[in-house]
Amino acid sequence: MKLGISELETAPIALGCMRMSDLTKQEATNVIDASFEAGINLFDHADIYGAGTSEEIFASALDESSVKREDILLQSKCGIRHGYFDFSKTHIISSVDAILQRLQTDYLDSLLLHRPDALMEPEEVAEAFRELKESGKVRYFGVSNHHPQQIELLKQYVEEDLIINQLQFSLMHTPLIDAGLNVNMQNKESIVRDSGLLAYSQLHNMTVQAWSPFQFGMIEGVFIDHPDFPEVNAALQEAAEKYGVSKSAIAIAWILRHPANIQAIIGSMNTERIQSITQALSIRLTREEWYGLYRAAGNNVP
């Protein structure tokens, strides 16, 4: 798949590196090698992951890895500070310089604005993006956790294409699709909470990157094998047995089945689990299976 309208080729699964700060250099090297061998070539970072330590360990591990910088895509995010958000030109540019130093690279393939800044001045963002693009420090840009109007506001000033929106989405966290299945109804599922983000993303060819694809609630825990969710786990197990893969692979295959050009960001630092999850790349669920899993997750189909 390609990220948005860019020329960046990637797999439908990427590795989120938030937990890499907990690894030794050798462990991180093993994770990079196992991920690349399984078909993953995009590694997602943020300047707040491990207070920058995740990026430092990744760079050190990549240096020991058989994987070369030119064979992968490096993505990072900025804008979250201690207790507030900051999309000022000064902060964006200084953040990128620090990210590049920690990652020991000359450029990022993609930079995302991490969470909306209520005090954002889009003119400043545009200036920062222009400088970063012209200097060769960032190839492409995007956002994370932004709704369509915020993206449209940015696009009025930013000359560069916004190719990505990173959003929480999983089988047990489905606000992105609930309202679209309950149009003109009076139940709570019909409430539009995101201004139609998935349809907007498809209309504007923005890649949705699904973060926390195994979480329920607001990252309250993993639903796979969780005793509070017997029905969805039974449905996952049935599909897993049919396709000869893990339940985690089915949960990712459910995300990838949606036609909105979604890329799942997995966060495992376990090499065997990474290999197990990427089995999803060989699966295409039927409509009956997709809706069956959606219902098993506690949702009604009107």
Q: Indicate left, alpha or beta for 31 from its phi (over 0: left) and psi (-120 to 50: alpha).
A: alpha
- The vertex-167 CA angle with 84 and 222, nearest 5°, equals 100
Domains: count for the chain: 1
pLDDT at 243: 98
Residue 93 maps to a domain: yes
pLDDT at 219: 74
Residue 159 maps to a domain: yes
pLDDT at 275: 97
Q: Whole-angstrom Cα distance, residue 228 to residue 56?
A: 37
- Given 49, 140, 200, 243, the catalytic residue: 49
Residue 148 maps to a domain: yes
Spell 205-239 as b/e; 16+ CB within 10 A means b.
ebbbbbbbbbbbeeeeebbbeeeebeebbebbebb
- Can you give the residue range of the structural domain that contains 146? 13-296
Q: Which residues pair with 262 in a beta bridge?
A: 208
pLDDT at 137: 98
Supply the CATH number for residue 214's domain.
3.20.20.100
Q: Whole-angstrom Cα distance, residue 227 to residue 280?
A: 23
Print pLDDT tens along the chain (302 aa). Answer: 999 999 999 999 999 999 999 999 999 999 999 999 999 999 999 999 999 999 999 999 999 999 999 999 999 999 999 999 999 999 999 999 999 999 999 999 999 999 999 999 999 999 999 999 999 999 999 999 999 999 999 999 999 999 999 999 999 999 999 999 999 999 999 999 899 999 999 999 999 999 999 999 877 899 999 999 999 999 999 999 999 999 999 999 999 999 998 999 999 999 999 999 999 999 999 999 999 999 999 999 99
Residue 8 maps to a domain: no
Residue 292 maps to a domain: yes
Residue 173 maps to a domain: yes
Question: Is residue 107 within 8 Å of residue 136, measured between CB atoms?
Answer: yes
Question: Is residue 144 within 8 Å of residue 270, measured between CB atoms?
Answer: no
Catalytic site includes residue 49:
yes
Residue 4 maps to a domain: no
Please, is 188 exposed, middle or buried when counting C-beta atoms within 10 Å of its C-beta (0-12, 13-18, 19+)?
A: exposed
CB atoms within 10 A of CB 68: 9
Question: Is residue 52 within 8 Å of residue 101, measured between CB atoms?
Answer: no
